[in-house]
Amino acid sequence: MRSLIAALLLAALVVPMAPAAEQAELLPDYPLEILNIKPVGTDGMEASNRIFRAYPGLRYNIRAAVIGGRYPYSFRLTEAPDGMTVDARNGEVDWPTPRASAKAKLEVTDSAGKKITAEWTVTVTKEKFIFVDAKNGKRASEGATGTIENPFKTIADFYPNEEQKGLRTSKYTDHVVYFRAGTYKLDGFKCGWGTKWMDFRNWHPNILAGYPGEEAIIDCESKHCLTAKGQSGFCVENLRFRGMKNYGYALQLMPELGDLKYVTVRKCDFRGLGPTTGNHNQSFIRLLVGGNLTEGLVVQDCVFDGGEHLSGIKLYTCYRSLIEDNRFANFKGLDSAVALKVCVRRCVVRHNVMHGFEKGHGAVNCLFSQPYRNKFYKGISENEICYNLAYDLRSCAGLSIFAHANPGSADVYRNTLVGPVILRHVGSKAGPFRFYRNVYVREGGGGKTELRKVSDPSRIVEKENLVVNRSELNDKFLLRNEDARRKYGHWLPEPEAPKAKKGGTPKAAAAAVEKRQAASPKAAALYRAARGAERSGMKDLARTLYGRLVEEHPESPLAAEAKKRLH
């Protein structure tokens, strides 16, 4: 009875669904675009980029980075080699055993039905690939050549060491480095003061990756870090970073030698940074201020866990970037999980989980206080903070915006925040800052918006936000009321659970679903996306996906089910 009363009370609090025209007006209307997949030569995309390169027989795995339009999106491959698939929900492209070079074409559809496509060619070759094996490799001085059959043993085997110091070697320029299972120290030449760093510049390898299915650890020995300076297309994926201390930036992106474009950090695990000292923008990933620009930065599917007096990601001078599906946890005395500082424009912070913070500015911190100018813009503007979950925040805000009367704007929507929202120094030239359909939870000082030294409140626009008690959320911090859940907070449609037919069992139903998916993974992915759209009330998108399934996979058992749902 109590749960029924709580559900009825919550339903009474929910603001009625806004008309379509009003929703379109409230939500940002930025162009739908794919940041990281495009042909060579388009917008500065270089042939050495990760998306174009695969080693024969070794899993090729990338993920589309999409911003703009109406999230969530659906994905499909309209052209692809045998065995290549895409997750219809998140755009992860997977090719388990590439054998020959091939073209691929990806289509993205947003929730409003807008479409965009990207095509690229994956070159399958053994050229410009290095393998390092801490357990079974040999030193270059012992005859290792860096092939998969004769791998190197340490980083110093392919990177200039302390004796060679600043040697500019072109032997391994734009190579992909695969690290086999084991622990690796940064034993190449290091420079800098305090924290020593290993620079990866235009004449070094530009892709550092953990071997698929194995755990490779980069040991920073409590004093070292990696940097990328002017290295467009620099990519770090599937690596574990440990032992970061002192100033301890696990990865510094420094556009000192030219614009940095299409930098990717994906499926990495950063743990244990600090305690740090001083105020030097300490962070796991830091993009430094410079006269040049970083464009197309993508950070996806990473873990940032355990740190003291730092931020997870801190950005300066950055344009068109995406921070998506990461987890930030267990920080003490932090600045923030994500800090957008100076000259950050069109950054999308989406669907991240942030928890276990003690003190700090906020899980997400937007700072407009330094009107640093470069050749593109000043301040920060046109950024989106959406579908994030922030909880267990002790003396820390869910979101903080320091406007200091400088120009800039931000759209904050569909977040669940167990902590206050704080806005400071908002004047007539700041913003607008738009808040739409967020869930604010009355716990830990949350459930409210605090205005501090705000001279022009009209620059803060709040529409259809929901304030609730913790008891009105389930263990995943989703609203218990199903209708409200679909409209407010960080909720996204879940993959469809298998259902038993009449007279059958859930186990048998699950086995049947697995069998269908194994036979037709693309059809299954489309079906899951369509069911998710249907459950979330996006009927037009669901019909589009069902129609595609019937048209593209008529022989699939799921096509018959799709036809039933269309009628």
Give me the sign of the Cα torsion angle 299, 300, 303, 308.
Answer: positive
* Average pLDDT for 220-234: 76
pTM: 0.82
Q: Which of 44, 64, 65 is nearest to 230 (CA)?
A: 44
Element (H, E) at 421: strand 421-424
- Contact indicator for 65, 298 with CB cutoff of 8 Å: yes
Instruction: For 119-144, write each residue's pLDDT tens digit.
Output: 999 999 999 999 999 999 999 999 99
Assess whether pLDDT exceeds 50 at residue 517: no
- Higher per-residue confidence, 336 vs 384: 384
Per the rule left: phi > 0, alpha: psi between -120 and 50, beta: everything else, 558 is alpha
More confident residue, 98 or 307: 98
- Per-residue confidence band for 501, with pLDDT thresholds at 50, 70 and 90: very low
User: What's the pLDDT at 245?
Assistant: 65
Q: Which residues contact 505 (CB under 8 A, 6 or more apart)?
A: none
Check if the beta carbon of residue 168 is closer than 8 Å to that of residue 140. Answer: no
Determine which of 72-76, 90-94, 134-138, 197-201 has the lowest per-residue pLDDT on average.
197-201
**Weakest mean pLDDT among 51-65, 434-448, 492-506:** 492-506
Helix (H, G, I), strand (E, B) or coil at 290: coil
Long-range contacts of 6-13 (CB under 8 A, 24+ apart): 6/471, 6/472, 6/480, 7/480, 7/481, 10/468, 10/472, 10/479, 10/480, 10/481, 10/484, 11/481, 11/483, 11/484, 13/466, 13/467, 13/468
Q: How confident is the model over 11-25, as a mean pLDDT? A: 41
Most confident residue range from 288-297, 410-419, 521-530: 410-419
For residue 176, what are the CA distances in angstroms to 144, 269, 363, 431?
Answer: 17, 19, 34, 43
Per-range mean pLDDT, top range of 10-19, 162-171, 192-201, 322-331: 322-331
Q: According to the model, what pLDDT value does residue 540 have? A: 66
Name the more confident of 343 and 24.
343
- pLDDT band, very low/low/confident/very high, at 292 (cuts 50, 70, 90): low
Would you say 261 and 295 are in contact if contact means Cβ atoms under 8 Å apart? yes
For residue 192, pLDDT over 90 is answered with no
pLDDT, residue 436, reads: 94
Q: Is the pLDDT of residue 209 over 70?
A: yes
**pLDDT at residue number 51:** 97
- Could you tell me the residue ranges of all domains in the chain? 39-112, 506-566
Q: Which two tokens stand for residue 200?
A: 């990866």
In this prediction, residue 232 carries a pLDDT of: 79
Burial of 193 (0-12, 13-18, 19+ CB in 10 A): exposed
pLDDT band of residue 289 (cuts 50, 70, 90) is low
Q: CA–CA distance from 277 to each of 137, 195, 245, 246, 274 (Å)?
A: 38, 11, 9, 6, 8
Are the C-beta atoms of 99 and 76 separated by less than 8 Å? no
Mean pLDDT over 442-453 rounds to 78
Separation of CA 123 from chain center: 25
Q: Which residue has the higher pLDDT, 508 or 13?
A: 508
Percent of the chain with pLDDT over 70: 75
The pLDDT value given to residue 500: 41
Work out the average pLDDT over 503-509.
Answer: 47
Write down the pLDDT at residue 11.
Answer: 36
- Token digits of residue 248: 């301890």
- For 20, the token pair is 């379509």
HEC profile for 209-256?
EECCCCCEEEECCCCEEEEEECCCCCEEECCEEECECCCCCCEEEECC
Provide long-range contacts, Cβ within 8 A and 24+ apart, for 185-188.
185/154, 185/155, 185/219, 185/221, 186/155, 186/218, 186/219, 186/220, 186/221, 186/224, 186/225, 186/226, 187/154, 187/155, 187/156, 187/161, 188/155, 188/156, 188/159, 188/160, 188/161, 188/162
pLDDT computed for residue 170 by the predictor: 65
The mean pLDDT value for 279-288 works out to 78
Query: To the nearest whole percent, how much of the chain has pLDDT over 90?
Result: 40
- pLDDT of 416 strictly over 90: yes
pLDDT of amino acid 84:
97
Residue range 278-307: mean pLDDT, rounded: 80
What is the rounded average pLDDT for all residues in the chain?
80
- The token duo for 249 is 């930036």
User: Residues 43-72: pLDDT tens digits?
Assistant: 889 999 999 999 999 999 999 999 999 999
Vertex 114, ends 109 and 118: CA angle to 5°?
A: 55
Question: What does the pLDDT read at residue 110?
Answer: 95
Segment holding 539, helix H or strand E: helix 539-552
